[in-house]
């Protein structure tokens, strides 16, 4: 197999490859761009006009999607998978991956859409570099652009595999992309209602790509992801890369649960208190009248939305950041 097919091995070892460009037997080009960044170009005459950005490891301890990208790349490098789409693989936070930690100094997935300009340290520099790599990749006009930023969650979830669909005031959420998510094994989608500061929010709002954050199960160390079933997603990604995806128009969205953000829970100070069990699962439903959190100046979050559920509760975030999301179900229409 080609040496560049071992991107994960190179990244975990902190090594730069001797050859930056290699060709597969069928003529697809692998191009090492930077640490953890590899661009794949189809052989001459095979390009179908589809640009697919796949990122993982934005949080270094979320290993199941990192291992999935490694499998896909090895299949391409060995000639088992013949790409017709252009593909950019990004391993987001290599130093955190090497340590098996979520991040080094700060959460890189809160530093996009220019937020890195107000920060310092490795993650700020890396967020800037990831934006540049994505912008260069999606710079060719007239092509279909899709970005899946793949994660696993800190905690368990009552809905194991779900997606977050970013927001831009100039764009509508696409039923075709929702059908594509359902075909990938995603069972719920959170429709966001304001421009965010995550990687997928950047590519959606700034680069005109369809983009999603995919949550694919619970975070575990490398080699311990047997309980994270990504077979349907893997098959879906194969079809996108090979250009063999089934028509989406025939798919209904009946099996897809849709939610929208009702409120963000922002931690303002060290006095912040979140009144949930430490092991509460994502999408746990909260009763009307429940006191969810309190903070300085008498700030209180009391549940007044029927059917409200909590996702991403984390009282340990830095002051000024989101400590949880309250979401409510919506109709597919």
Query: Is the same domain home to 53 and 199?
Result: yes
Return the percentage of the chain with pLDDT > 70, whole number: 98
Query: Is the same domain home to 187 and 301?
Result: no
**Among 85-94, 98-107, 218-227, 291-300, which stretch is predicted with the lowest mean pLDDT?**
218-227
Residues 6+ apart with CB under 8 A from 13: none
Q: What is the pLDDT of residue 109?
A: 96
CATH code of the domain covering residue 163: 3.40.630.10
Query: Is the same domain home to 233 and 277?
Result: no
Say if residue 332's pLDDT is above 70.
no
Range of the domain at 317: 262-330
Query: Is the same domain home to 75 and 211?
Result: yes
Say if residue 333's pLDDT is above 60.
no
- Distance, in Å, from the CA atom of 244 to the CA atom of 248, rounded to the nearest integer, reads 12
Q: Nearest 5°: phi and psi at 327?
A: -125, 155
Question: Do strands 291-294 and 273-274 pair parallel, antiparallel, or not at all (unpaired)?
Answer: antiparallel
Confidence class of residue 302 from pLDDT cuts 50, 70 and 90?
very high
Q: What is the pLDDT of residue 248?
A: 72
**Per-position DSSP letters for 108-132, written without gaps between them:** GGGSTTTGGGG--SHHHHHHHHHHH
- Candidate list 123, 131, 210, 215, residue with the active-site label: 215
Mean pLDDT of 174-184: 93
> What is the number of domains present in the chain?
2
Write out the two tokens for 325: 């999301």
CATH code of the domain covering residue 270: 2.40.50.630
Q: What is the pTM of this model?
A: 0.94
Say if residue 34's pLDDT is above 70.
yes
**Among 17-21, 73-77, 143-147, 218-222, which stretch is predicted with the lowest mean pLDDT?**
218-222
Confidence class of residue 249 from pLDDT cuts 50, 70 and 90?
low
Q: What is the mean pLDDT of the chain?
A: 94
Residues 6+ apart with CB under 8 A from 303: 286, 287, 288, 289, 290, 292, 326
Mark whether 215 is an active-site residue: yes
Query: Is the same domain home to 79 and 207?
Result: yes
Is 44 part of any domain? yes
Residues 6+ apart with CB under 8 A from 29: 21, 22, 23, 40, 41, 43
Is 125 part of any domain? yes
- Distance, in Å, from the CA atom of 33 to the CA atom of 54, rounded to the nearest integer, reads 15
Q: How far apart are the first and last CA of the chain?
A: 48
Say if residue 262's pLDDT is above 90.
yes
Confidence class of residue 14 from pLDDT cuts 50, 70 and 90?
very high
Is 29 part of any domain? yes
Say if residue 230's pLDDT is above 90.
yes
Q: What is the DSSP letter of 157?
A: B
Query: Is the same domain home to 224 and 165?
Result: yes
- Distance, in Å, from the CA atom of 104 to the CA atom of 102, rounded to the nearest integer, reads 7
Query: Is the same domain home to 92 and 229?
Result: yes
């Amino acid at each position: 197999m080609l040496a560049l097919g071992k991107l994960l091995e190179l990244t975990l070892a902190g090594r730069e490859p001797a050859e930056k460009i290699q060709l597969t037997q069928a003529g697809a080009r692998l191009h090492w761009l930077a640490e953890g960044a590899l661009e794949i170009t189809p052989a001459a005459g095979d390009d179908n006009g589809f640009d697919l950005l796949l990122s993982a490891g934005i949080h270094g301890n979320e290993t199941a999607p990192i291992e999935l990208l490694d499998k896909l790349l090895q299949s391409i490098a060995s000639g088992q998978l013949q790409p017709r789409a252009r593909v950019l693989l990004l391993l987001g936070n290599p130093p955190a991956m090497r340590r098996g930690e979520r991040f080094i100094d700060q959460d890189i997935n809160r530093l996009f859409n220019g937020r890195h300009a107000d920060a310092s340290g490795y993650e700020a520099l890396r967020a800037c570099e990831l934006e540049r790599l994505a912008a260069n990749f999606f710079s060719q006009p007239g092509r279909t652009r899709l970005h899946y930023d793949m994660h696993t969650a800190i905690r368990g979830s009552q809905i194991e595999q779900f997606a977050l669909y970013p927001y831009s005031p100039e764009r509508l959420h696409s039923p075709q992309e929702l059908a594509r998510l359902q075909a990938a094994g995603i069972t719920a989608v959170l429709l966001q209602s304001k421009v965010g500061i995550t990687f997928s929010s950047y590519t959606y709002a700034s680069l005109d790509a369809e983009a999603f954050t995919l949550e694919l199960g619970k975070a575990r160390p490398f080699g311990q992801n047997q309980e994270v079933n990504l077979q349907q997603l893997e098959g879906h990604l194969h079809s996108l890369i090979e250009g063999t995806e089934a028509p989406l128009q025939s798919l209904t969205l009946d099996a897809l649960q849709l939610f929208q953000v009702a409120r963000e829970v922002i931690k303002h100070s060290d006095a912040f208190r979140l009144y949930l069990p430490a092991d509460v699962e994502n999408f746990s439903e909260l009763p009307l009248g429940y006191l969810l959190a309190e903070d300085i100046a008498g700030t209180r979050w009391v549940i007044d939305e029927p059917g409200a559920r909590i996702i991403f509760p984390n009282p340990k975030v830095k002051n000024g950041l989101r400590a949880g999301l309250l979401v409510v179900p919506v109709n597919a229409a």
